[in-house]
Amino acid sequence: MLRRKMYWTLAAAMIACSCWVGQAISGQGGPPAGGDRGGGRGRDRGGDRGRGRMSPEEMRKRMEEWRARRNEETRKRFKATEQEWLVLQPRIEKVQTLQRASRGSRFGGFFGGRGRRPGGDRGREGQDDRDRPEVERKTEALRNLLEDEASGPAAIKAALTALRQARARAAAQLAAARKDLQQVVTVRQEALCVMMGLLE
């Protein structure tokens, strides 16, 4: 009985000692392992982001590859031979370009609260005003007048008239481009163009 009691007493003492040693070691160590792992992951993520940035040349190459894939997919969708596509592609792209130009910036950023842009004849950063679609330029001119409390009714009306005229010209150009496209497509291709919004 005495030996059994001594055995259990010694076992309890050893368990208590091991617990105390473990607590002492964890208390004297550096940051918790989880903190090390978290910091490491943060640095790794930062490094990955740094390595993940593409140069302008890489971005241009990616865009060209993406355009080439999209162009080939569209050609296959139209079931056009390469020779037929030489006729179709420029007409489709012209319609798409004029669609964007005719829409311009319908709200012109007016509801975004961006305010008047500095630079006068400069629109988007690094882009000459003459390179932008006329509808977009006229929309921005009207928006700037509306954001300026000092603008008079005559100036606003003149800008509004200019915008309407620009939209009418863009609509006429788009209608002509759509007519050119419609003249070279088959019935099936025409249906696809309507489904894609290229034709009405």
198 neighbors 95 (Cβ within 8 angstroms): yes
pLDDT value of residue 126: 46
Q: What is the mean pLDDT of the chain?
A: 75
Whole-angstrom distance, CA of residue 121 vs CA of residue 37: 52
- pLDDT, average across residues 112-134: 54
Give the 3-state secondary structure of residue 128.
Answer: strand
145 neighbors 156 (Cβ within 8 angstroms): yes
126-180 pLDDT per residue, tens: 455 667 889 999 999 999 999 999 999 999 999 999 999 999 999 999 999 999 9
pLDDT value of residue 184: 95
89-110 pLDDT per residue, tens: 999 999 999 998 887 655 444 4
Whole-angstrom distance, CA of residue 105 vs CA of residue 111: 11
